[in-house]
């Protein structure tokens, strides 16, 4: 598979005057290949959105690197808000749709980015399963699920090689969630693009992702094929996450209860960042960070 996105030891810091520096992304590495869906999961505040924004050139890397198709991603100027080749779909479609403009005109913006003169906004609406005549209407005339389909149509119009969904389904009704997620998967993979799908809904990620990356407090703690991670989660945090959702396959044997909340990223615990909440904590975990993959845990140190 052709590598599309390569994130290597990425650090992104948030600086607010008079407050401690927050390392929202604290040394994360991740790859997305063309035609592949990678699900990025973790509790809110773990740095998923910050990582996504850095990939789009909207956040500056303090260290480490991001390469898209082999070219380093550098922060964009304020006037250029979209990186060619990467499109993002947000949790709130209003973040990408202008409520005052007809949806057809907004999809036409994407077609212009791609230099596509053969397709019409109505064609794109059809591809996302909406009637062609919706083009003349405004975003407020639609349900949340329909609006998200329009945001996807607008993103796809720009012919991205990488599509990023940042919690694109978390504001939708349960019935629309898997439909919209599956649509994103089919459209991205069908056009040979990669999809980085950020969600805290593991059951939907399981449905659409080829690989899962689990993020905790700014770091990727486990990466693997979806089916393998699901059948045999190895990082204690992954186990807890999977244990926290109903398991129709009857695998209810994992620790379901995770004590405590995500610690303040401004003051991450020393050693393994998960150690204050880990039921399997050992002495080494309190002092030394497990800086290796694919499972960043001292119980799974590569030999
Ligand atoms: Fe738990 Fe130690 Fe593994 Fe961290 S490194 S997840 S504290 S066992
Ligand atoms: Mg977020």
Compute the distance from residue 186 Cα to the ligand 2 centre, in Å.
23
- Specify the fold of 3-80+161-169+194-300: Rossmann fold (3.40.50)
Q: Where are the domains of the chain?
A: 3-80+161-169+194-300, 86-159
Q: Residue 188: left (phi > 0), alpha (psi -120 to 50), or beta? A: alpha
What would the mean pLDDT of 99-108 be, rounded to a whole number? 95
pLDDT at 101: 95
Contacts of 103-109 spanning 24+ positions with Cβ under 8 A: 103/134, 103/135, 103/137, 103/138, 103/139, 103/150, 103/153, 103/154, 104/134, 104/135, 104/136, 106/150, 106/154, 107/135, 107/150, 107/153, 107/154, 107/157, 108/157, 109/154, 109/157
Write the CB contacts of 251 (distance below 8 Å, at least 6 apart in sequence).
Answer: none
What would the mean pLDDT of 280-290 be, rounded to a whole number? 96
Task: Ligand 1, residue 290: give the atom nearest the CA.
Answer: 5
What would the mean pLDDT of 57-62 be, rounded to a whole number? 90
Q: Determine the Cα–Cα distance for residues 180 and 67; give it in Å rounded to an integer.
A: 28
Q: Determine the Cα–Cα distance for residues 185 and 268; give it in Å rounded to an integer.
A: 34
**Per the structure block, which two tokens stand in for 276?**
């204050």
**Per the structure block, which two tokens stand in for 128?**
């996302």
Nearest Cα residue to 103 out of 146, 66, 45? 146
pLDDT higher than 50, residue 219:
yes
Q: Determine the Cα–Cα distance for residues 51 and 55; give it in Å rounded to an integer.
A: 6
The proportion of the chain whose per-residue pLDDT surpasses 70, expressed as a percent, equals 92
**Residue 262 gets which letter from DSSP?**
P
What would the mean pLDDT of 238-243 be, rounded to a whole number? 85
Compute the distance from residue 300 Cα to the ligand 2 centre, in Å.
28
pLDDT higher than 60, residue 79:
no
- CA distances to 28, 209, 220, 225, 232 from 228, rounded to whole Å, are 21, 12, 17, 5, 6
The proportion of the chain whose per-residue pLDDT surpasses 90, expressed as a percent, equals 73
What would the mean pLDDT of 283-288 be, rounded to a whole number? 98
Residue-wise pLDDT tens digits, 23-48: 999 999 999 999 999 999 988 888 99
Least confident of 63-77, 127-141, 266-280, 289-303: 63-77
pLDDT higher than 50, residue 214:
yes
Q: Is the CB of 216 under 6 A from ligand 1?
A: no
Q: Which ligand has the shortest distance to the CA of 199?
A: 2
pLDDT at 249: 46
pLDDT higher than 50, residue 253:
no
pLDDT at 243: 77
Between 262 and 223, whose confidence is greater? 223
Q: Among 234, 297, 302, name the best residue to mutate to test ligand 1's pocket (greatest count of ligand atoms within 8 A of Cβ).
A: 297
pLDDT higher than 70, residue 126:
yes
The beta strand positions in 217-255, using DSSP E, are: 219-225
pLDDT at 254: 38
């Amino acid at each position: 598979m052709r590598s599309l996105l390569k994130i290597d030891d990425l650090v992104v810091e948030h600086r607010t005057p008079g407050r401690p520096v927050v390392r929202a992304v604290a040394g994360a590495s991740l790859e997305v290949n063309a035609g592949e869906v990678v699900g990025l999961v973790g509790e809110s505040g773990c740095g998923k959105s910050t990582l996504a924004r850095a990939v789009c050139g909207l956040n500056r890397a303090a260290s480490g690197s991001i390469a898209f198709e082999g070219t380093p991603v550098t922060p964009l100027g304020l006037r250029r808000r979209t990186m060619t080749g990467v499109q993002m779909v947000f949790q709130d479609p209003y973040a990408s749709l202008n409520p005052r403009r007809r949806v057809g005109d907004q999809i036409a913006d994407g077609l212009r980015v791609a230099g596509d003169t053969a397709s019409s906004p109505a064609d794109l609406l059809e591809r996302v399963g909406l009637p062609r005549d919706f083009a003349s209407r405004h975003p407020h005339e639609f349900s949340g699920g329909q609006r998200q389909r329009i945001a996807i149509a607008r993103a796809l119009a720009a012919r991205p090689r990488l599509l990023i969904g940042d919690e694109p389904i978390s504001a939708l009704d349960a019935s629309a969630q898997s439909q919209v997620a599956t649509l994103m998967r089919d459209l991205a993979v069908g056009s040979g693009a990669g999809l980085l799908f950020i969600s805290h809904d593991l059951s939907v990620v399981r449905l659409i992702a080829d690989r899962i990356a689990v993020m905790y407090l700014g770091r990727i703690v486990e990466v693997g094929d979806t089916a393998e991670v699901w059948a045999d989660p190895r990082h204690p945090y992954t186990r807890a996450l999977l244990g926290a959702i109903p398991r129709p396959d009857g695998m209810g044997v994992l620790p379901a209860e995770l004590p405590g909340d995500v610690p303040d990223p401004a003051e991450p615990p020393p050693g393994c960042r998960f150690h204050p909440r880990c039921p399997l904590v050992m002495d080494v975990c309190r002092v030394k960070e497990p800086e290796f993959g694919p499972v960043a845990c001292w119980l799974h140190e590569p030999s």
